[in-house]
Structure 1
């Protein structure tokens, strides 16, 4: 499972009261979209590479499916430009 990751322009948010199954996270919103970032483990990245690059997303909404975009920081940043405020360009991070 990916873990919530802070990013430039994000704000922290705690889990809802009584939900110890939800991790605190970081988010950005422009009033139309909410953006979060997730850090995958090396093992998860290996599985994604093994299955042809497919990333699966589960959104806890019940029966409705809300518009969801999964992409790089730049892909999301450019999409947000069409809907209002956007996140800053993100710095290059190198995992050692």
Structure 2
């Protein structure tokens, strides 16, 4: 499972009251789009590399599938420009 990750331009958000199955996270919104970032464990990255790069996304919405974009910080930043403001470019991070 990925873990919520802070990013430049994001704000923290707590889990809903009584939901200990949801982690606190960080998000950015421009009023039309909401963005969050997720950090995968090295084991998850290995599985993704093994299955041809497929990433699976689950959205708790019930019956409807909302438009969802999964991508790099830059691809998401560029998409947001079509809908309003965007978050700053992210610094290069070295994974140790």
TM-score (norm 1): 0.99
Q: Distance in 2 between matches of 1:12 and 1:88?
A: 16
Taking the TM superposition and a 5 Å limit, the aligned residue runs for 1:44-83 are: 44-83=44-83
Listed one character per residue, the Cα deviations across residues 61-95 of structure 1 (whole Å, up to 9, x for unaligned) are: 00011000000000000000110010100000001
How many equivalent residue pairs?
Answer: 96
Listed one character per residue, the Cα deviations across residues 32-77 of structure 1 (whole Å, up to 9, x for unaligned) are: 1100000000000000000000000000000011000000000000
5+ unaligned residues in a row in structure 2: which ranges?
none
- Which runs of 4 or more aligned residues in structure 1 lie more than 4 Å from their structure 2 counterparts after TM superposition? none
Secondary structure of 2:26's aligned partner: strand
RMSD: 0.4
5+ unaligned residues in a row in structure 1: which ranges?
none
Q: Distance in 2 between matches of 1:87 and 1:44?
A: 27
TM-score (norm 2): 0.99
Tell me if 1:24 matches 2:24. Answer: yes
